[in-house]
């Protein structure tokens, strides 16, 4: 028991150091940063929607530096081809042999900037890497480094010349996070930091330590009642009438897939670990429900015509389906 508590303390201290270093550079955006950490621990990927200039790139770049990880950024444009992402075979005239040139997806933290600006075949190439964590070039398989996180961004204010991600491909993202403008106080601090002396970020962890944290995250206890709660929430997006939401069916064309249930469970684990617990509570899962479901619920034309949003639908589902009482099993585990 002493050994377990010592391990928990060391884990909490390491994550606290990582967050401290990032927050020395990034002002505010606590919720966004928390979601990035959840995605890393749960080995998921993030889709981020926000206007330019909200420190999305800076957050991921700083995080990579604190963990001594390899950071790469790809600016998606309409003229990109899949080889620009994954790599290609090149002929060397001097030696008369083909060599493999690996693309920028071979990184620990990959920022796919404005993913909706590239055509479908390029988007598919990235999403394949996200799912399989490997690339096949000329019949040869190359695994991407571990840990591996893709953070794709979308700009909500410009739709001209964009290629929206198909629903089936969006489903591969663990969460869709909305990033908003900072408060006046935060913006004041941002200006002071940017115009003041540059802050040197220290590397406080290694990719090996991060891999160990991911393994440890899988040991966080999730009560069966909490998993059942996730199943009900996701099921209500597919067949709302079975859960007492008869009027909701006409607003939803397609509901969330089983990936959503898995992501809710894994996300609750990671958030519990970030909060210094070895067991998940209902509030851990409830905090993540909008982020996990908002991009998986496909609204009907009727819903769009009435001005409804996916977040509004998810909120109604959460209001109808009560969370379980705090599981008692964790009390036995810590006793």
- Compare 326 and 39 and report the one with higher pLDDT: 39
Q: Tens of pLDDT along 40-88?
A: 999 999 999 887 778 888 888 888 888 888 888 998 888 888 888 888 8
Distance CA 37, CA 180 (A): 18
Longest CA–CA span in the chain (Å) reads: 71
**pLDDT computed for residue 158 by the predictor:** 65
pLDDT confidence tier of residue 270, bands split at 50, 70 and 90:
very high
**pLDDT computed for residue 186 by the predictor:** 86
**Tokens found for residue 317:** 């589902």
Q: Using the predicted structure, report yes or no on whether residue 159 has a pLDDT greater than 70.
A: no
Please report which helix (H) or strand (E) contains residue 236, including its range. Answer: helix 224-238
pLDDT confidence tier of residue 327, bands split at 50, 70 and 90:
low
Distance CA 78, CA 154 (A): 14
Q: Using the predicted structure, report yes or no on whether residue 330 has a pLDDT greater than 70.
A: no
**pLDDT computed for residue 2 by the predictor:** 45
Whose CA is closest to 32, among 210, 176, 201, 171?
Answer: 176
Q: Tens of pLDDT along 13-25?
A: 888 888 888 888 8
- pTM for the model stands at 0.86
**pLDDT computed for residue 22 by the predictor:** 86
DSSP 204: -
Distance CA 64, CA 87 (A): 22
């Amino acid at each position: 028991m002493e050994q377990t508590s010592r391990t928990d303390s060391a884990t909490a201290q390491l994550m606290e150091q990582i967050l401290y270093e990032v927050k020395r550079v990034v002002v505010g955006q606590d919720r966004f940063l928390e979601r990035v950490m959840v995605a890393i621990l749960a080995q998921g990927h993030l889709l981020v929607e926000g206007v330019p200039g909200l420190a999305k790139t800076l957050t991921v770049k700083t995080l990579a530096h604190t963990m001594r990880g390899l950071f790469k950024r790809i600016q998606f444009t309409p003229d990109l081809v899949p080889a620009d992402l994954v790599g290609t075979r090149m002929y060397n005239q001097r030696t008369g042999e083909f060599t493999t040139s690996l693309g920028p997806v071979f990184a620990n933290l990959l920022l796919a900037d404005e993913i909706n600006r590239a055509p479908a075949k390029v988007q598919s190439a990235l999403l394949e890497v996200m799912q399989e964590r490997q690339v096949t070039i000329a019949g040869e398989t190359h695994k991407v480094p571990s840990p591996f996180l893709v953070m794709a961004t979308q700009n909500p204010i410009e739709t001209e010349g964009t290629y929206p991600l198909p629903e089936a491909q969006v489903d591969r993202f663990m969460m869709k996070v909305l990033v908003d403008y900072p408060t006046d106080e935060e913006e004041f601090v941002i200006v002071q930091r940017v115009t003041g002396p540059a802050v040197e970020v220290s590397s406080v962890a290694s990719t090996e330590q991060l891999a160990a944290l991911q393994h440890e995250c899988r040991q966080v206890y999730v009560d069966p009642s909490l998993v059942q709660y996730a199943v009900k929430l996701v099921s209500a997006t597919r067949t709302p009438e079975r859960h007492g939401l008869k009027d909701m069916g006409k607003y939803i064309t397609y509901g969330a897939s089983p990936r959503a249930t898995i992501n809710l469970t894994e996300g609750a684990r990671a958030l519990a670990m970030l909060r210094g617990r070895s067991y998940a509570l209902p509030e851990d899962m409830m905090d993540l429900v909008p982020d996990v479901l908002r991009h998986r619920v496909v609204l009907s034309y009727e819903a769009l015509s009435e001005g409804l949003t996916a977040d509004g639908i998810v909120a109604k589902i959460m209001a109808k389906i009560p969370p379980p009482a705090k599981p008692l099993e964790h009390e036995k585990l810590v006793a």
